[in-house]
Structure 1
Amino acid sequence: MWSYVVPWFSSGRQTSPQPAQLSEVEKMNIHGLPSQGRQRYNVNWQSDDRPLVIVTSCDFYYGFSIASALLTDASDVCRVRAVGQRKEPLSTLARMGAETAVIDFGNEKSITTAFQHKTDCKVILSIGSNEERMKEATCMLQAIDQADVDLVCLLSQGGADPTSEWKQLKEFGKLEWQVLSRNGGNSCILRTDWVQTNFLFWTDATSKNAEFPLSFGSNHPTLAPLAMTDIAKAVTAIVKNAGTLLTVSTKRTFTLQGPDLVSSTQIVRLLNDALKNPVIGEKQVSREELKAYLVGLRDNPKRDGIIPPNDTTIETFLDYFDFVESVDQGRSHDMEDLTGDKGTSLQDFFKEYARYFRPE
């Protein structure tokens, strides 16, 4: 039996100044904001006839980044509703002008209410990194279908395949199938390659041991790492130009990659170039050895560092590395087609974050 709880909504018509722009590290840590006590549940809709874009899992890095980019770059064409399970990470988006809806996945009414709308509506379906994320995404899709939205755009994972031998990629593939199989409205998938900021989880190894452990080979290019900001640009382009992009087909899959297709050896070389001192060594490890390193981060988080990956994130990393090791991955140009830009290079990423990787 579902109990009734109305999601907490905050009006986007704010009089307080916008908060300072968050760094990518602060966005990565957004889910770790401490709880401010019991959630408030009420409804406060914006009185606005602009089309609505609903972004889910905004209490996690990906969703938060997408919503903040839309608030900055697409407020002329839409208003934004940020949906998540925790009020605290959404408060920053509310101060930027978003409606916010805190939902409870144990409560059907709170989910359906979060997707109600009176104007044209698009949904950017981002999922978190919690263990129940796929079940929660299915719940949201059911509510989305009831709400009759114009477009559902799923932020997915490169290598997603419902028949994949790797669990996390298989789950993403099944979710893609659900999105593309929905009746009514347009659907699109954004499959992302490795996100550059994920490499910040390797700073413990580089700073303490001057080594970069990776579980895929060095003999051929395998990753095309891209910036989270470039993913957000692609989503913004779809929000602004969905009518044009989906004229050929109402069901489309885009593969988003960064400008550089690199091997593990090239990754370490680019890092050393950014450090201006070739001191970091490449270390080839097995899946289990890399898992042990990442689990060590989970179990011994730095007090002032990046919130460590949880089990779901770790398994997704490992599955994706196994996948790219098993295929000859080509270079997609969908990013350029969507945004008119190749995106941020891995070299520029390492230059910007060199201080995090520098040996102690």
Structure 2
Amino acid sequence: MAKGIMVVVEQRNLQIRKVSLELLSEARKVADQTSESVVAVVLGQGIDELVPTLAAAGADKVIVVDDAKLAEYTTGAYTSVLNKIIRKEEPQAVLIGNTAVGKDLAPRLAQRLGVGAASDCTGMEVDSANFLAFKRPVYAGKAFAHVTSNVRPIMATIRPNTFPVTPPDASRQAEVVKEAAEIDAADLTAILKEVAVAASKRPELTEANIIVSGGRGMKGPENYVILEALADVIGAAVGASRAAVDSGWKEHKFQVGQTGKTVAPTLYIACGISGAIQHLAGMGSSKFIVAINKDPEANIFNVADYGIVGDLFEVVPLLTEEFKKLVSE
């Protein structure tokens, strides 16, 4: 009989991704409502030290799969291992962060398990049958679909920054189960040789609490130093619209929008961005939106909580100086 909520934990260099802690926090709340348990599954190499953090975050049980073949994420190996664990544990639901890894992993797991997967969800609740239903945006964020399933496990990927991380409870203890990495030979079709990581002190775009983005109004790649200066003062990530990326001013990894990354920060500052529907689809879930644009008729003002009609080349440096004063106080 299916029981429990399973969270697939994503970690990199022994650092647990924030979205995984968000999922554990929300799973704990739901589990307390429905008398379910929370199971965290973490894969990697030398990962025993992560167990106390996962327990404190809300896990009743932590399944650890420690193997050199899992040191870095590869589609085949992770799918093979998690498929077997999910079949053995028979959880009611499986939650995965809607990250690059999650978007690669979840559909493959769903296919192996013969279940559906609700992707890029922005809400989770207990339905009338006393189990999980998910909310996900459709039609470029203009509407929301409510998704549930009678087939177990129900699987969902959750957009980062959807749920708050509850304060850790260091007194919590979790059952620890160590599983062997049973990887089918047919799944080892790719061997990862090296991971090249760009060095940056700024937060990763999809997990940032504050994002400063620039669009066509930036007029050229050299002007992004203005946004970067502001971002460094307030601890923000830097993003870009599709127009800026298509113009070659920023790499695609910085693109926010329907064909880029979907973000949900606490604060999104849009500079010189008109507000095309494709861009709004990628950042419309932001809790607070500030728009800076010299065109008072720009569509971005229709979704902004605060709007500044003015030249971003004058406004942004002024904001940077004011934030410097606040930070130094």
TM-score w.r.t. length of structure 1: 0.36
Q: Which has the higher contact order (CA 8 A, sep 6+)?
A: 1
Q: TM-score, normalised by structure 2?
A: 0.39
> Which is higher, the Rg of structure 1 or of structure 2?
2
Which protein has the bigger helix share?
Answer: 1
Higher strand share: 2
